[in-house]
Amino acid sequence: MTMIKNYAQFDGLHYETGPVRNALAHLGVTAPHTKQPLSEAMLLGISGGAAFGYFLFGYEGYAPQLNLLSRNTFDPFETLLTRLAAPREVTHSPDEKKAEAALIEALEGNQPAIVWADYCTLPYNDLPPDIGWWAMQPLVVFGLDDGLVHIADRSHKPLTVSVAEFGKARARVKKDKFRQMTLAAPDLTKLKDAVQKGIWQCVALYTEKPPKGAKTNFGFEAYRHWAAMLTNTRNTQSWARFFPPGAAMWSALAGGSYVPGLIGWIETWGMGDGMERGAYADFLDEAAALLKRPKLGIAAKHFRASQQAWHELGCIALPDDAPLCREARELIPRKHALFVQRGQGALDEIRAANARLREITAIAAKDFPLSDASVAAVRDAMSAQVMKIHDLEYEAVKAMQAAMN
């Protein structure tokens, strides 16, 4: 048996900031302004903070996809650790036995190991087998015992998988095959500088040319583009043409096994609850105290208003007066909450929820639950709501700039 003594850190929710939060909390790292473990909201802010991205994808054999970005995705994991000056040791071996030996060595040294494994393969995620999908994501391993790997991963409860299942998940993608990292305490004299850099990166992601991709995919330009494509009927990227009523529009709104859909992006992705806007507002309130810049609190209020506006967008997209729409809109966050709160203890209920969602998806593909007139009205209302979110976040970013200047 190789178990870390007294490991009790399961608060991390996002697949990148969550493992860092859990590992540093186990090491006893506390923030100077709170005397508590570094919050995941703080780590979100340091890593680049809130963002907005809008992408449409279509792959042969799959329904078209809506992809939204709620936070910085430009190398945030490494950015976070670099800004915190967190010492880390990385091992990366193509050999499974050597990788397991490195994992055992870390655990015997009372160090939680951040390990990359395929989200799609791990059985507690209850995903159907599909060779077309993979996602190597970091998680925390805190023990090996009786053929089981003990894991902290986006749930407030410990999770377990067999050593064989875990080895398969670790080996799924060559780039991250058997990759492992251990952390040491960061240099918190750099915390204020890290927070400031994170805030300015957030501002830049909204207002400046993106580090890569088209300008209509990021920031305020992306909001305006999305709003236009919801009402346009001629453009090939318009919702009328890319997501016509049926399987395509249902995929955009409610997602599927591997694709969150609008409701998933809003309610369940990362730290959830309104495209993570509430979490970013928490960061700004912390930053206001740490940096002694109280006007950051104004930006936090705007982001909380945006958080509510995102919830409202979900209600517009899947309206109450269509029973299947309402059921999906309620079931998606409910099954996510079951996993966060109870982990594998709720797996039977999660499987039942997934089965029902698959049934609803099949029904919606054949008999879409909204009439043509209702579809047009929903798209119009969504467009107006997207611009409401745009305006709220424009005021938030403007308040951030004013506070920092």
Tens of pLDDT along 392-403?
999 999 999 999
Residues 320 and 353 grouped into a single domain: yes
Residues 141 and 170 grouped into a single domain: yes
Question: Is residue 245 a contact partner of residue 372, using CB atoms and an 8 Å limit?
Answer: yes
pLDDT score at 318: 98
pLDDT score at 211: 85
pLDDT score at 127: 96
Residues 239 and 306 grouped into a single domain: yes
Residues 325 and 226 grouped into a single domain: yes
Last residue of a domain, one of 129, 164, 183: 183
Provide the mean pLDDT of the chain: 97
Distances (CA, A) of 153 to 137, 229, 370: 10, 36, 37
What is the residue range of 320's domain?
190-404
pLDDT at 1 over 80: no
Average pLDDT over residues 76-101: 95
Residues 330 and 375 grouped into a single domain: yes
Task: Give the model confidence (pLDDT) of 238-261 as tens digits.
Answer: 999 999 999 999 999 999 999 999
- Over the range 190-213, which residues count as b (16 or more CB within 10 Å of their CB) and which as e? bbeebbbbbbebbbbbbeeebeee
Distances (CA, A) of 244 to 42, 238, 278, 372: 40, 9, 32, 10
Residues 330 and 212 grouped into a single domain: yes
- Count CB neighbours of 103 within 10 A: 22
pLDDT score at 212: 84
In a domain, 47, yes or no: no
C-alpha torsion angle, residues 71, 77, 81, 83 (rounded to 10): -40
Average pLDDT over residues 299-320: 98
C-alpha torsion angle, residues 276, 277, 281, 286 (rounded to 10): 20
Cα separation, 217 vs 42, in Å, equals: 26
Q: Predicted confidence band at 139 (pLDDT cuts at 50, 70, 90)?
A: very high
Last residue of a domain, one of 164, 183, 202: 183
Residues 217 and 240 grouped into a single domain: yes
Q: What is the DSSP letter of 215?
A: G
pLDDT at 213 over 90: no
Distances (CA, A) of 283 to 40, 82, 277, 311: 9, 19, 10, 20
Residues 245 and 171 grouped into a single domain: no
Q: What single letter denotes the amino acid at residue 198?
A: G
Cα separation, 234 vs 227, in Å, equals: 14
- Count CB neighbours of 263 within 10 A: 24
Average pLDDT over residues 102-123: 96
Residues 139 and 13 grouped into a single domain: yes
Q: Residue 116 forms beta bridges with which residues? A: 138
Average pLDDT over residues 369-374: 98
Question: Is residue 16 a contact partner of residue 116, using CB atoms and an 8 Å limit?
Answer: no
Distances (CA, A) of 128 to 131, 260, 267, 320, 348: 10, 15, 22, 29, 15
**End-to-end CA gap in the chain:** 54
pLDDT score at 104: 95
- What are φ and ψ of residue 88, in 5° steps? -145, 150
Distances (CA, A) of 136 to 21, 87, 96: 19, 22, 16
In a domain, 139, yes or no: yes
Closest CA relative to residue 254, chosen from 322, 325, 311: 325
Residues 158 and 214 grouped into a single domain: no
Average pLDDT over residues 337-345: 98
Residues 19 and 119 grouped into a single domain: yes
pLDDT score at 137: 98
Q: What is the DSSP letter of 159?
A: E
Q: Give strand ranges (E) for 31-124.
A: 50-57, 65-71, 88-92, 113-118
For tokens 């067999």, name the residue.
162
How many structural domains compose the chain? 2
pLDDT score at 197: 98
In a domain, 62, yes or no: no
Q: Predicted confidence band at 93 (pLDDT cuts at 50, 70, 90)?
A: confident
Last residue of a domain, one of 183, 212, 241: 183
Average pLDDT over residues 129-150: 95
The SS3 assignment for 77 reads helix
Supply the DSSP string of 291-345, one letter for each residue: HT-TTHHHHHHHHHHHHHHHHHHHHHHS-TTSHHHHHHHHHHHHHHHHHHHHGGG
In a domain, 26, yes or no: yes
In a domain, 103, yes or no: yes
Question: Is residue 2 a contact partner of residue 144, using CB atoms and an 8 Å limit?
Answer: yes
In a domain, 220, yes or no: yes
In a domain, 345, yes or no: yes
pLDDT score at 291: 98
Question: Is residue 138 a contact partner of residue 16, using CB atoms and an 8 Å limit?
Answer: yes
Average pLDDT over residues 46-72: 96
In a domain, 261, yes or no: yes
Residues 159 and 197 grouped into a single domain: no
Residues 6+ apart with CB under 8 A from 264: 254, 255, 332, 336
pTM as predicted: 0.97
Which tokens hold the place of 263? Answer: 């409701």
